[in-house]
Each structure stands twice: as structure tokens, then as C-alpha cells.
Amino acid sequence: MNFTRPLLSLACLMVAASAIAQDKVLNIYSARHYPSDEVMYSEFTKTTGIKINRVDADDAGILARLRAEGASSPADVILLVDAARLWRAEVDGLFLPIKSKILEDAIPAHLRAKPADNGGIAWFGLSTRARVTVYDKSKFNKSDLDTYEKLADPKFKSSLCTRSGSHPYNLSLFGAMTEHLGPQKTELWLKSLVDNMARSPKGGDTDQIRAVASGECGLALTNTYYLARLMRSNKPEERAMAEKVGVVFPNQSSWGTHMNVAGGAVARHAKNSAHAVQFLEYLASPAAQNHFANGNNEWPAARGVSFDNPALKAMTGGSFKSEMLPISAVGMNQVKVQQMLDRVGFK
């Protein structure tokens, strides 16, 4: 009897099964360096059987790597933590526009890319962070700082601290201000910020909060999740630091507080694009959105998601007015803003 053909068929089936198993994988390039996110990755793998391979870097490093790798890139999903970088990557053609009713129903239009010519969307915001002002409660009152424009008031001379003007968090805020005030007024505003600085820009947002708490600075700009981390810390000295500063969500009577966005996209040359879309849809689900809020102190981007984060609620009293500018408009101002910063000496 001749068993050659059945044996060959069995071998082919084994190879095919192996290939199918290998296909259950997702390669992620992530700028989210938050230990709390590990729960989401584990839950996705547990639910779907799709293994996650992850490369961690900052936004700029990820975009540089994608450009260098081109069509040979193994990346399937890109996770970035700044609106300006999401916009830049979209413009540079590094993302694959996708169609997903789940994502389009969940994520508001101003927190995602505009539809491409084929109707697909290049990226979706998945969580948001408010850029707020913290201040020394022994020196100033909340009403002194209830707009971003008031940061330029001469009474705050030698009081302001901030990280580099060229950091994406500040570039996005300044890009939004350009939309609201126009280029000329924004440049004058930036010059006044420089005049009011207590020291040259340095460090991260936590360093700015620390400087206000220590009395080195009177006020500073920070993203909310840095302050929330201190408020929820198990270290008494960090909670004490947070208690020493007040927080203002600016422009509640006008356009609302500036919101930066962390978001995700399918890589242009994704080999596992179906799995990539499935992962992004998972990140927009109520379970994952709650994890963004409770695990990393970010506001959910998806519509109608409730959460219970005591620090975020304590900051706002439960609600606040957020800016509704399209992220694309903010992104398009980045080059213009950088030129302003150079002219006014904002390092």
C-alpha cells in the first residue's frame, strides 16, 4: 500500500496549522511606557489568543524607525502619546487608513483623523490629558489664572516654570493657542511667557509641580495625569507635594481647557492588519477606556464611558469644559509655532 500521499497531506496540514498559529500575533510600536497598560495587553491576548510583541520608544523614535524600515517594517499597530506626532505621521503616510464602525461610533470626530479619500481614518484618539496650570496656593488665587492668556500677565514675572517649549505637550498647546488667538497675538503671548519665567525651561511635568510645591516657582504648566499620580501615590511625600499646589482648568468661560490626545493607528505596511483593527477596537471598549482612566489617570476618549478615578474627580469637581478643536488644525500649526519659539527665545 502507498501511504506517501496521505503522509504528505498530513505534513501540509501541520505546516498550515503552524502558520495559522504564527499568524495570531500583533507587533506594536508603543510610546506608552506605563506599567498599568500591561493589564490591557494581557486581557487582549487572553480574550483573543493573539500574542503581542511590543517595541517601546518615544514618539520621535518610533516615527524615525518607521521611516527607516519602510515596507519591511514588522509594525502592525502604532501607539503615540501626542496629537502633533499623530498628525505628522499621518501626513508622512506612515499610517494605513481603516474603516471601523466600532471606532467611528466610539471616538468623537475631533479626536480622530479626518477621513482619507477612500473614507478610511488614519488614526484614532484613545485617551486625553488636560494641560492645566498648577500654582502656589500661598501666593495666588485660582481667579488669577483662569485663562491661558493670563499666564502672560506681568504680575507673574519670575514666577512661571515649564518644560521645553519644543516638547510636544507644549507645542500642541501653543498650536491650539494659535488657532484661538491668531499667530501675531500668540507670538506676543509666548514672548510674555518667556519674560515671566522663574528659570530656563527644564525637566518634565512632575518637575514643574515639584518646583511649585517647593516655592521655587509660583505657577507651572502640566498635564493632569502627572498631578493625579502624585495625588494617588502611596508615598506620603508625593501626596504632600500635590496638596501644596492648586490646579486650574483654564478658559472654562471661553473655548475650554486644551486637551492633548494619546492615540493609535494601523501601520502603513502592517502584515496583521485585521488583528491591528481588532486591537484598536478593544482599546475603545468601555473596559479598556476605564483602564486608561483608573490605571493611568487619563480621560477616556470614547463617548459615554463612566469611570471612578478619585484624583480626576477631585481636580474638576466632576466635570469641566474641554477644548473641541480638531487635532489636525493643531498639528498644522507646529512648524509655525516652532518658528515663534525661536524668535522669542523660548528654549
**pLDDT at residue 16 in the model:** 39
Q: Compare 83 and 224 and report the one with higher pLDDT.
A: 224
Architecture of the 129-258+321-344 domain? 3-Layer(aba) Sandwich (3.40)
Residue with cell string 493657542: 177
pLDDT at residue 13 above 50?
A: no
What is the CATH number that goes with domain 24-127+260-316? 3.40.190.10
Per-residue pLDDT reduced to its tens digit, 242-282: 999 999 999 999 999 999 999 999 999 999 999 999 999 99
pLDDT confidence band for 5 (50 / 70 / 90): very low
**pLDDT at residue 319 in the model:** 85
pLDDT at residue 110 above 80?
A: yes
DSSP code per residue over 203-248: S-HHHHHHHHHHTS-SEEEEEHHHHHHHHT-SSHHHHHHHHTEEEE
pLDDT at residue 305 above 60?
A: yes
Q: Give the span between the Cα atoms of 301 and 107, in whole angstroms.
A: 6
Above pLDDT 70, what percent of the chain? 93
**pLDDT at residue 7 in the model:** 38
- Statement: the pTM of the whole predicted model exceeds 0.75: yes
Q: Give the span between the Cα atoms of 257 and 252, in whole angstroms.
A: 7
Are the C-beta atoms of 258 and 323 separated by less than 8 Å?
yes
Residue with cell string 502611596: 234
C-alpha closest to that of 24 among 56, 4, 57, 47: 47
Which letter does DSSP use for residue 330 in this model?
Answer: H
**pLDDT at residue 83 in the model:** 86
**pLDDT at residue 195 in the model:** 98
Distances (CA, A) of 214 to 209, 221, 238, 241, 272: 9, 15, 12, 8, 50
> Which residues have C-beta within 8 Å of that of residue 203, sequence separation ≥ 6?
163, 211
CA 34 to chain CA centroid, Å, is 12
pLDDT at residue 315 above 70?
A: yes
**pLDDT at residue 23 in the model:** 66
In the predicted model, what is the mean pLDDT of residues 42-69?
96
Per-residue pLDDT reduced to its tens digit, 321-346: 999 998 878 888 989 999 999 999 99
Q: Give the span between the Cα atoms of 227 and 239, in whole angstroms.
A: 10
Q: What is the mean pLDDT of the chain?
A: 92
DSSP lists the bridge partners of residue 248 as: 133
In the predicted model, what is the mean pLDDT of residues 35-52?
94
Task: Give the residue range(s) of CATH 3.40.190.10 domains in the chain.
Answer: 24-127+260-316, 129-258+321-344
